[in-house]
Amino acid sequence: MKAVLLDRDGVINALVYHQDAGVVDAPFTRSQFKLLPRVPEAIRLLNDLGLGVAIVSNQPGIAKGHLKSEMLKIFERAMLSRTREAGARIDGIYYCLHHPEARVRKLRQRCRCRKPEIGLLEQAAADLKVSLSECYMIGDGIPDMLAGSRAGCRTIFIGRWKCEICQFTEAPQVRPAFVAKDLLEAAEFIRSELSGTTQVAYSSGCLPANV
């Protein structure tokens, strides 16, 4: 394995409850953007393992009118600053800004980059000069797992893989190789897997059918 592709919201930074809309979503303001605990440490560990690290993230907030493009850049600068302070490196950042029901007309489209499509993953892998089969895909949502599976990546789910989630996946092979509580636990699993010391395929949640 040569690279790790990361979703952003829920993996790198915390999701936000937007009380006015009654939804849990990505941050819309600077004060809402907060890195999750242990994220810089996790990315540094992936760097130390010699793996490329790229973020591949659906970001429809601009299309939906929730924020301006400058705010997305502010989030990005904050993320990069925090990771650099910890001695960690992110090699590439790839966003899909589209949404099929966007308020911003130029962003209203069905595209190949919005996960669960694999366009973002293909672009990141090409720039990192690796094949998708040499990549881990880490995310906290079904679109991340679907995209990773379709692309031939090894997938890791952040959160709890509840049994009711399985009904929303297209096939048993979409289920992740590992379920981690956060990015550092995922990175530690990758370290153990690359060193050949992995003992357990799943840490928690619903077991795959063949276990």
- The catalytic residue positions are 7, 9
The two three-digit tokens of residue 211, written as one number: 């276990």
Amino acid in the structure at residue 134:
E
Amino acid in the structure at residue 98:
H
Could you give the CA distance from residue 99 to residue 160 in angstroms, rounded to a whole number? 27
Report CA dihedral (91, 96, 97, 101) to the nearest 10 degrees.
-160
The two three-digit tokens of residue 48, written as one number: 């130390």
Q: What pairs with residue 154 in β-bridges?
A: 136
The secondary structure of 21-69 as a DSSP string is TTEEES--SGGG--BPTTHHHHHHHHHHTT-EEEEEEE-TTTTTTSS-H
**CA distance between the termini of the chain:** 23
CA 75 from chain centre, in angstroms, equals 16
157 DSSP 8-state letter: E
Q: H or E stretch including 154? A: strand 154-158
